[in-house]
Structure 1
Amino acid sequence: MSSSDAPINWQRNLAVTWFGCFLTGAAFSLVMPFLPLYVEQLGVTDPGALNIWSGLAFSITFLFSAIASPFWGGLADRKGRKIMLLRSALGMAIVMALMGMAQNVWQFLALRALLGLLGGFIPNANALIATQMPRNKSGWALGTLSTGGVGGALLGPLAGGLLADNWGLRMVFFITASVLFLCFLLTLFCIRENFVPVAKREMLHFKEVFASLKNPKLVLSLFITTMIIQVATGSIAPILTLYVRELMGNVSNIAFISGIIASVPGVAALMSAPRLGKLGDRIGPEKILVAALVISVLLLVPMSVVQAPWQLAILRFLLGAADGALLPAVQTLLVYNSTSQIAGRIFSYNQSFRDIGNVTGPLIGAAVSASYGFRAVFCVTAGVVLFNAIYSWFSLQRPARFHVETPTSTTSVVSSKE
């Protein structure tokens, strides 16, 4: 047996991609704490203009990622997922280094857009693992993989703040580029994939991709669920510190307390995602998905009436535990309802919807809080998540239509009820 035909050690690939997602999540969030400060350093000093440019620099990455993801997903299905992981890690490393050399805000904005165009490590990691693991372990594996990006995103802001204080803002971009290059090297030498390139003429087109699905309406509903999950998360982000200040008053350690309250959902998600993923493998990811959405609604509503920061922190911790199950459950259902031939595109479409949620969530939160106050944001978010729970429940009840699996598929296509 040749080395290229040797069985894939998917557990090792999972471990390496987890570390790659951790490094990528950390790299992206390293620069978040001081992004407005860097925009200011590039010459934008007017407070109003600084807010606008900082918002643009933050959101443009997600916007261009949403546009580019389907293209990269199609290329992954044609050329392989490992090459897409390498392309993403190396491309982002180069862009991050260039950001450290930006001379004005226009250059920085263009590079933030390019970062979105070249991204995609995490969705391609999901697609790689989804096409290699046994189906009965998909919930646990994808839940475990999701903790990599979450863990990196939690550690990143703390590390970024410390590095910026000690080394300066520009140096953080070069350190981030080094982290991403390490991710490239790990992927290059440690991940194995047996992939036979597909000729472009043999690739399914967009309409054919959805026509090949066992339940295209369910898959579309899962995309919408992903978007709403991110809208719900992002709608609270812009107002959280201000809401904590409203609860506490102007105390000296407001930033520290806000940082803790912002971080606790991620800590809870780290703890819950693998366990709830394993439970989903046993009882069905669709049950986990709907239950987690309903629990989220029941936790969001009380957040609008809390009287102390510790009450908000407890509710957000519980919310994080529920949220830890949501995206892995969606991804597991996508695995169940697609084939390996189109997995790259299905996960990339899902990433596009996630990015759209990342862009629109903060805008909705800012608009609602400006018109109706901070507490209204939690009520509106609860209403959006309730709609998502009802919509998902009805979508998961629909019987799947008949589907003939293509001979090239290696991942079983099953209904969401199996």
Structure 2
Amino acid sequence: MFFAWPQWKKNLAALWFAQFSGMGAITGVLAFLPLYVEQLGISDPAAQEWWAGLLLGIAPLFAAISGPHWGAYADRKGRKLMLERVTVAFFLVMLAMAYASSVYEMLVLRALQGVFGGFTAAVLALVTSITPKEHIDFTMSVYQTAMIAGAAFGPLFGGFIADTLGYSESFMSFAALSILSLIIIHLGVQEDFQPQSTANRPSIGRQIRAMVAIPGLRAMLVIMFLIQFAIQVISPILPLYVQRLAVDPAYVASAVGAVVAAAALASAISSAAMGRLSQYWRYEATLLIASILSAFSFALQGLAGSVLSLGLARALGGLFMGAMLPTVNALAYQLIPPDQRGLAFGVTSSAALVGNMIGPVAGGFLAITLGSRSVFWATALLFLLLTGWIYVQRNKLRQKS
């Protein structure tokens, strides 16, 4: 059956597996990086939370800065070539992380990981460029499941390796995942790319300013930022929070991986369902309902008294957030010129990455000043504010849905 598929479906299948393994390598550190900080010489619990937030946030910061430039490069040279180069860089950085001996070395390597970011934006640009317009909702929902499933697999796999073999071995495993992703991209993806003349093409800065000025796109950038901020704000405190819920220290990383996986797998299920539900629900209605229910789920996480109740509340939140991300990407797709999708998805990914960057830093600060549970309550409040903002913007969103 696979060989009878049209080429765009074959590319989508290959890119799904590449995104799955690539995202697994990127997110795998979430299960143990805050715990790894102690092994790197930081013994004070408050300092551990701060350094965890900094290490988790610096890679998205540099990825947000470099993302539009890599996207523009992909528009000029080819998106498949861009993906292959980024994946090689990920492999080298992950391998170097296995031998880091201080938090400062890890900080530099996490920054380098961000500089060579752009994987997700390039995949989005490639997969949408070869998808017929009438199938874009289906493609976005399927692609989103790869991101979410990879984000579930990475921490679960990384936590297991960290607990059974060690932290360095986890980074080596992530390097292997990067190589697997490279092989899948190189052998499984066909791109009929026609280089465009750059003689009269404006500078990247001018292109970005013109992109942000597109009516409706700014609303998408704000929503992407807030969603990713809310998702990542708890990442620096989650391992320590789980540890305080009476978990055996020998299995903390595995327990964190299971909690993260529960949310991500639930997100993958709801994201896949959105490919069909989008035919019946308007985009702005999906965003409104999912946002307010996400606020409720984070309130439940703040009340959790055991790892099981925390995992169930995280899974519930995963269902709602999984519905939001493909909806936002489908809306953004309608606004983006076909010949600038690499740059455009670089810009939209940068908005999400800024949320990924600020979220962990804010989470670490809140945990230090107000306690770990305050992070969940603050996130619930943020989703309530997001609900109100989407409601205000609903007419702009309705025009595009």
Aligned pairs for 1:30-109 within 5 A: 30-35=28-33, 44=41, 46-47=43-44, 52-102=50-100, 104-109=102-107
Aligned pairs for 1:290-305 within 5 A: 290-305=288-303
**Residue 68 of structure 1: CA displacement?**
0.7
1:19 aligned to 13, 17, 20, which one?
17
Aligned AA for 1:155? F
Gap runs ≥5 in structure 2: none
1:225-262 per-position Cα deviation (integer Å, ceiling 9, x unaligned): 1111111112233344555567x5x4648836555444
1:181-200 per-position Cα deviation (integer Å, ceiling 9, x unaligned): 22112211221112211233
1:184 and 1:110 mapped to 2: Cα distance?
A: 24
1:146 and 1:266 mapped to 2: Cα distance?
A: 11
Contact 1:289 1:329 in 2 (8 A): yes
Aligned AA for 1:283? W
Partner of 2:400: 416
Aligned AA for 2:92? I
Aligned AA for 2:108? A
Partner of 2:330: 332
Gap runs ≥5 in structure 1: 1-6, 401-414
**Residue 88 of structure 1: CA displacement?**
0.9
Contact 2:211 2:344 in 1 (8 A): no
2:33 and 2:306 mapped to 1: Cα distance?
A: 29
**Residue 211 of structure 1: CA displacement?**
4.0
Aligned AA for 2:98? G
2:134 aligned to 133, 136, 140, which one?
136
2:346 aligned to 339, 348, 351, which one?
348
1:46 and 1:302 mapped to 2: Cα distance?
A: 31
- Determine what percentage of the aligned residue pairs are the same residue: 31
Report which stretch shifted further, 157-166 or 142-151.
Answer: 157-166
Which of these two proteins has the greater Rg computed from alpha carbons? 1
1:14 and 1:351 mapped to 2: Cα distance?
A: 19
TM-score norm. by structure 2 comes to 0.86
Aligned AA for 1:75? Y
1:369-407 per-position Cα deviation (integer Å, ceiling 9, x unaligned): 44444444333222222222222233341399xxxxxxx
**Larger relative contact order, structure 1 or 2 (CA cutoff 8 Å, min sep 6):** 2
TM-score norm. by structure 1 comes to 0.83
Q: Provide closer, same or farther for how the CA distance between residues 37 and 294 of structure 1 changes in structure 2, counting only shifts above 3 A.
A: closer
2:239 and 2:102 mapped to 1: Cα distance?
A: 29
Aligned pairs for 1:357-376 within 5 A: 357-376=355-374
Aligned AA for 2:387? A
Aligned pairs for 1:301-316 within 5 A: 301-305=299-303, 310-316=308-314
Q: Provide closer, same or farther for how the CA distance between residues 286 and 341 of structure 1 changes in structure 2, counting only shifts above 3 A.
A: farther
SS in 1 for 2:113: helix
Report which stretch shifted further, 296-305 or 351-360.
Answer: 296-305
1:175-217 per-position Cα deviation (integer Å, ceiling 9, x unaligned): 322321221122112211122112333334444555468x724
**Residue 24 of structure 1: CA displacement?**
0.8
Q: Provide closer, same or farther for how the CA distance between residues 395 and 57 of structure 1 changes in structure 2, counting only shifts above 3 A.
A: same
SS in 1 for 2:196: coil
Q: Provide closer, same or farther for how the CA distance between residues 258 and 26 of structure 1 changes in structure 2, counting only shifts above 3 A.
A: closer
1:399 and 1:355 mapped to 2: Cα distance?
A: 22
Partner of 2:172: 174
Aligned pairs for 1:144-223 within 5 A: 144-205=142-203, 206-208=205-207, 211=210, 216-223=214-221
Contact 1:218 1:396 in 2 (8 A): no
Q: Provide closer, same or farther for how the CA distance between residues 106 and 366 of structure 1 changes in structure 2, counting only shifts above 3 A.
A: closer
Contact 1:30 1:160 in 2 (8 A): yes
**Residue 166 of structure 1: CA displacement?**
5.0
Aligned AA for 1:269? S
Give the aligned length: 393
1:259 and 1:37 mapped to 2: Cα distance?
A: 13
Contact 1:137 1:281 in 2 (8 A): no
CA RMSD of aligned residues (A): 3.0
